[in-house]
Structure 1
Amino acid sequence: MHLADFVAGSVGGAFGVAVGYPLDTVKVRIQTQTRDSGVWECVRRTCRTEGVRGFYRGMSMPLSTVSISSSLVFGSYRNVLHLLHELRHRSAADPHHKADLFVSGFAGGVAQVLVMSPADIVKVRLQCQTELPDSRPKYRGPVHCLLSIARDEGLLGLYRGSAALVLRDGPSFATYFLTYNSICDSLRSTDSGQPGWPVVLLAGGVSGMCGWAVGTPMDVIKARLQVSGVSGRRYRGFFHCLSHSVRSEGASVLFRGLTVNCIRAFPVNMSVFAMYELVVRFLRPAS
């Protein structure tokens, strides 16, 4: 088992959340409400009404769980990839098959949903509670939000939108790891077994943008399901949310927040992969 990848993924994921959280807040608000006509209007209104702290609402919950979820993503990806590589009877020096990279990334994305979903719904609820009809915040903080959802909606309420989360993270991480490895392979110098740091930074940033380009439609549906009922609009399920959103707002609604996702994805995933490579290169010789 590649334990170094679990540890490196944990550190890299936490670092990425700290870098990209403010734009994540903007993205979620744009996806779940229609008050703001664009990114800059949302940023200005948040600054004016809530100050800088408004961009960090709900951050403690994903920051506390991202170490586990990122560890599962990178660890599952690397171990599934190793298993598929061995099943093809290839030596360690042989390049990985592109299909194996895609399947391994898909497995890593799905593996994190069990841990990710409760933290994600808390994050989204806290980020959006300024958009609710009542002026008084419903949730006092991450723990209160988590317990309130479990009490009012049951334990399954913590997994509201998890189907969309699976459909987002499976294809998204499959694209993510495939793009990263493809760029590293094409730009890696022939005399080095590891990609240089400029290649790591470029590949990490581009792979993040490609992953979100694939995952944004399901990200919109996931966010809307997670605030269903609380935001004043209630969806009966995944397909009702999808059909109602497209019918009432057009197909372009599925790409709401894509610009913010891509802007955020480059520096965040550049940081994630830089930290991941740094830690895994340090640990792997000893592991």
Structure 2
Amino acid sequence: MATADASAAPSTLADVSAAPGAPVEEPKAAPATSGVKSFLSGGFGGMCLVAAGHPLDLLKVRMQTSTQYTSTLDCLRKTLAENGIRGMYRGMAAPLVGATPVFAICFWGYGMGQNIARSAYNMAPTDKLSTGQILFAGGFSAVPTTALMAPMERIKCTLQVASAGGAGPAYKGPVDAAMGIVRAGGVASLFKGTCATLLRDVPGSVAYFGAYEVIKRTLTGRSAGDGSISPLAVVAAGGLAGMANWAVAIPPDVLKSRLQTAPDGRYSGVRQVFVEMMRTEGAGALFRGIGPAMLRAFPANAACFLGVELSLQFMNQLW
């Protein structure tokens, strides 16, 4: 993808007002995005992400929780043979319904992290954050998000593996799966894997938002919310940010998926999952599913950040 020349040949959404040969001034950062706008734009971006990336997410989870697949292609072939095209969207209702609040809270948390960083260093709302401050804000975003993400991931993973080789009971949908989980282990069972989710999402979010801001600044000289920018730059930065996230987060994600799809009482916690995997399957098992995760990461997160940026531009025009 030829995005490195985005500043030389901007799209119609990019700022092209500078005259040829004129001195290029460092663009001033826009005032910090309000919490309401961060919340709404994050929710819309999350819906875009789920729609674009769910089929490959399903393959990732199935590979992480079963040894019957030899490769991503083998998993795809068997899933299609078993359930057809509709099977590729099994479990999508739960993350799609949950995408709006989860990603809304994530981007709201990211904005809150930025505000905390500005407050700690007595910075004005228009001052640009350093890379270190962006990384802090990214890590902070995972904290409020996990409270909602953990039960949604529990339901999603349970649905995704329910028909894989006849493993586990079959559920009609996310509500039926949630009720089945509660019947089997109580309400607390919905939050199985919360610590594993936090272990995955804090470093993953640091890489996610950090990579996005650094790559986008490199391509455009602008930060999030600084005004109109090239959609190609957003797609490139968002897609690569998603890949950076999974490069960091895939090992704890494997542990989380194993823990959340195991029968109640099978594991005492994420530590036992790790110890048993190391003993029986080796370190390579921690990267099982990385193929579909990386294949999904670019288009899904490119769609997410493009949705976030476009919705922010739309809201900024309204108020």
When normalised by structure 1's length, the TM-score is 0.93
The alpha-carbon distance between structure 1 residues 113 and 67, as it changes in their structure 2 partners (threshold 3 A), is: same
Q: Which amino acid aligns with 1:110?
A: V
- 1:94-109 aligned at under 5 Å gives the runs 94-109=127-142
The alpha-carbon distance between structure 1 residues 256 and 225, as it changes in their structure 2 partners (threshold 3 A), is: same
For residues 185-212 of structure 1, the C-alpha deviation after alignment (integer angstroms, 9 at most, x for no partner) is 122158x865422211110000000001
Report whether the alignment pairs 1:130 with 2:146: no
- 1:19-168 aligned at under 5 Å gives the runs 19-131=52-164, 133=166, 137-168=169-200
1:184 is matched with 216
Counting aligned pairs with the same residue, the percent is: 34
Please tell me the root mean square deviation across aligned C-alpha atoms, in Å: 1.8
Task: Report SS of the residue matched to 1:263.
Answer: helix
Report whether the alignment pairs 1:269 with 2:301: yes
For residues 12-40 of structure 1, the C-alpha deviation after alignment (integer angstroms, 9 at most, x for no partner) is 10111011000011000000000111100
Cα distance, 1:93 vs structure 2:
3.8
The alpha-carbon distance between structure 1 residues 268 and 54, as it changes in their structure 2 partners (threshold 3 A), is: same
Q: Hey, what's the Cα distance between the residues in 1 that align with 2:155 and 2:255?
A: 16
Report whether the alignment pairs 1:9 with 2:24: no
Report whether the alignment pairs 1:227 with 2:255: no
Cα distance, 1:269 vs structure 2:
0.6
Report whether the alignment pairs 1:236 with 2:268: yes
2:14 is matched with none
CA contact (8 A) 2:204 2:245 kept: yes
Runs of 4+ displaced beyond 3 Å: 192-195
Cα distance, 1:119 vs structure 2:
1.5
Q: Hey, what's the Cα distance between the residues in 2 that align with 1:269 and 1:165?
A: 19
1:200 is matched with 234
For residues 91-111 of structure 1, the C-alpha deviation after alignment (integer angstroms, 9 at most, x for no partner) is 344321222211111121221
CA contact (8 A) 1:66 1:116 kept: no
Q: Hey, what's the Cα distance between the residues in 1 that align with 2:253 and 2:273?
A: 12
For residues 136-183 of structure 1, the C-alpha deviation after alignment (integer angstroms, 9 at most, x for no partner) is 843232111101111210111001111110111111011100110011
Task: Report SS of the residue matched to 2:91.
Answer: coil
Cα distance, 1:240 vs structure 2:
0.6
CA contact (8 A) 1:187 1:195 kept: no
Cα distance, 1:234 vs structure 2:
2.5
Cα distance, 1:88 vs structure 2:
1.2
1:258 is matched with 290
CA contact (8 A) 1:189 1:195 kept: no
Unaligned runs of 5+ in 1: none
Task: Report SS of the residue matched to 1:104.
Answer: helix
Q: Hey, what's the Cα distance between the residues in 1 that align with 2:227 and 2:165?
A: 53
Select 2:311's aligned residue among 272, 279, 283: 279
Cα distance, 1:286 vs structure 2:
4.2
Q: Hey, what's the Cα distance between the residues in 2 that align with 1:86 and 1:198?
A: 33
Q: Hey, what's the Cα distance between the residues in 1 that align with 2:40 and 2:173?
A: 28
Q: Hey, what's the Cα distance between the residues in 2 that align with 1:169 and 1:58?
A: 21
Q: Hey, what's the Cα distance between the residues in 2 that align with 1:76 and 1:242?
A: 29
Q: Hey, what's the Cα distance between the residues in 1 that align with 2:188 and 2:240?
A: 35
The alpha-carbon distance between structure 1 residues 133 and 235, as it changes in their structure 2 partners (threshold 3 A), is: farther
Q: Hey, what's the Cα distance between the residues in 2 that align with 1:184 and 1:276?
A: 14
Cα distance, 1:284 vs structure 2:
2.8
Q: Hey, what's the Cα distance between the residues in 1 that align with 2:172 and 2:125?
A: 51
Cα distance, 1:131 vs structure 2:
2.8
Q: Hey, what's the Cα distance between the residues in 1 that align with 2:72 and 2:231?
A: 32
